[in-house]
């Protein structure tokens, strides 16, 4: 009966961009966000890879939701997600090796990205295939947008460049006519300024992350959206299988 309800696909797609932005509203996927947002190219590359895995895994999990036993759903989800991550990693290695080298271990670690596992548990395992695909696409675009914004701020302020290394990402597919990104270091040097290296370091990443979160929440509140709630263990995709939660040892705060 639940599957027969009318689904607003536009709303399901849009929620991941602002209302339930996985990074800036739900605070998921923080580790890869901070690690790969030192530049726009790295951030967008990670976002695209995660979006492909998110859409494909959502579709597969939704299609198999009636076959997967309830007690084995988390291991089954991880196997499905890992399969798509392996495919994406092989494609990146083959066609964009420079991006694969830049992202390093964070590309295969998409397997345990809580955004992907969270959407599998919260949405794909309970909804039809098309709705799950739309949900995955919206969440993936929201994740990529957050990485783009963070990468833009950190790269410009921390390195004095913008879109540096874009030729290594799409140069093999599009003729960029020698364009390798914008470099502002020369202009800054003429006026006696230099990039603030702090912004490409972890401390700068946390600072930019906090400021962007505050801005997005302010915009969301202005649109009448509620603040992202701290749901404690209930918000974790592994809550059902958590030994601490079963033993009632967890703290909801």
Tens digit of each residue's pLDDT (9 = 90 or more) over 5-57: 688 888 889 888 888 899 999 999 898 899 999 999 999 999 999 999 999 99
pLDDT band for position 251 (50/70/90)? very low
Global pTM value: 0.84
Q: Would residue 14 count as lying in a domain?
A: yes
Domain extent, residue 144, equals 9-246
Q: Would residue 122 count as lying in a domain?
A: yes
Q: Would residue 2 count as lying in a domain?
A: no
Most confident of 75-79, 169-173, 179-183: 75-79
* Number of domains present in the structure of the chain: 1
pLDDT at position 230 is: 46
pLDDT at 59 over 90: yes
pLDDT at 77 over 90: yes
For 147, 211, 242, the CA distances from 23, given in Å and listed in that order, are: 9, 13, 23
pLDDT digits (tens, 9 = 90+) for 197-240: 999 999 999 999 999 999 998 888 877 766 655 444 444 545 55
Q: Would residue 156 count as lying in a domain?
A: yes
How far is residue 58's CA from residue 80's CA, in Å, rounded to a whole number? 9
**By the 8 A CB rule, do 37 and 151 touch?**
yes
Let me know if 129 is exposed, middle or buried by CB neighbors in 10 A (0-12, 13-18, 19+). Answer: middle
| Residue of 75, 89, 81 lying closest to 45 (CA atoms) | 89
pLDDT band for position 186 (50/70/90)? confident
pLDDT digits (tens, 9 = 90+) for 119-146: 998 899 999 999 999 999 999 999 999 9
Q: Would residue 253 count as lying in a domain?
A: no
Collect all residues with Cβ–Cβ distance below 8 Å to 185 and sequence separation of at least 6: 159, 160, 161, 194, 195
Question: In the chain, what percentage of residues exceed pLDDT 90?
Answer: 47
How far is residue 190's CA from residue 32's CA, in Å, rounded to a whole number? 35
Q: Would residue 97 count as lying in a domain?
A: yes
Q: Would residue 126 count as lying in a domain?
A: yes
Q: Would residue 252 count as lying in a domain?
A: no
pLDDT at position 151 is: 94
How far is residue 113's CA from residue 58's CA, in Å, rounded to a whole number? 14
């Amino acid at each position: 009966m639940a599957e027969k309800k009318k689904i607003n696909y536009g709303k399901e797609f849009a929620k991941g961009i602002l209302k339930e932005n996985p990074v800036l509203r739900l605070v998921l996927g923080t580790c890869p966000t901070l690690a790969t947002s030192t530049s726009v190219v790295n951030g967008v590359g990670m976002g695209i890879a995660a979006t492909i895995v998110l859409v494909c895994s959502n579709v597969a999990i939704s299609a198999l939701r009636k076959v997967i036993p309830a007690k084995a759903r988390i291991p089954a989800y991880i196997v499905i997600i890992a399969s798509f991550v392996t495919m994406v990693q092989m494609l990146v290695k083959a066609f964009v090796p420079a991006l694969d080298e830049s992202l390093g271990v964070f590309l295969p670690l998409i397997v345990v990205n809580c955004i992907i596992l969270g959407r599998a548990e919260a949405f794909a395992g309970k909804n039809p295939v098309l709705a799950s695909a739309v949900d995955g696409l919206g969440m993936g675009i929201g994740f990529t947008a957050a990485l783009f914004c963070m990468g833009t701020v950190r790269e410009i302020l921390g390195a004095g460049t913008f879109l540096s290394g874009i030729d290594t990402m799409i140069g093999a597919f599009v003729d960029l006519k020698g364009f390798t990104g914008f470099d502002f270091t020369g202009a800054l040097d003429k006026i006696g300024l230099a990039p603030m290296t702090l912004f490409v370091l972890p401390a700068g990443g946390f600072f930019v992350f906090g400021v962007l979160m505050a801005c997005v929440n302010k915009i969301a509140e202005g649109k009448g959206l509620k603040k992202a709630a701290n749901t404690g263990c209930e918000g974790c995709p592994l809550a059902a299988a958590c030994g601490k939660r079963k033993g009632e040892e967890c703290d909801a705060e």
